[in-house]
Homo-oligomer: A and B are copies of this chain.
Amino acid sequence: MSDASPLARELIFGDQHDRIQQRLAALDPDLAAYIRDFAYDTVYQRPGLDLKTKELLACALLTSLGAEKELKTHLRGALRAGASETEVREALLFMAPYLGFPRVVAAFSQLQDLLEKRKAASE
């Protein structure tokens, strides 16, 4: 990987990058290495789709799985990758006909939580 350009995981996690990596390593060092090396530094680094699209896809997959904690991480990632709040809302609304409302309501709860924390932090 290039020295010059930041990695996808640096862009989407920002100042939480090291904290996230440490949390995963505390769970299991090999798990953390697989996520970093395979998920982020291999699959996420592929060219062909921009990072914003990738993060919106991640939000779709995590909403479908009902994986709420990871979803919040990637809702933040989508915003950091350049999606506007409106685009994130549109992506979540778009999921309703495919997944039904319960999964989408749960996803908007994570978004609300994230936006409130951001607002509190900026005040």
Chain A interface residue bracket vs B: 35 or more
A64 at the interface (CB under 8 A from B): yes
In the complex, the count of this chain's copies comes to 6
B57, B97, B109: which contacts A38 (Cβ < 8 A)? B97
Chain B residues whose C-beta falls within 8 Å of the C-beta of A118 in the assembled complex: none
A31, A43, A70, A101 — which one has the most chain B CB atoms within 10 A of its CB? A101
Q: Is there an interface contact between B66 and A26, defined as CB atoms closer than 8 Å?
A: no
Name the B residues within 8 Å of A111 (CB-CB): 27
Inter-subunit contact A70/B31 (CB<8 Å): no
CA distance A96 to B40 in the complex (A): 11
| Subset of 6 A-B contacts with CB under 8 Å | A26-B112, A28-B93, A31-B92, A39-B97, A44-B94, A65-B98
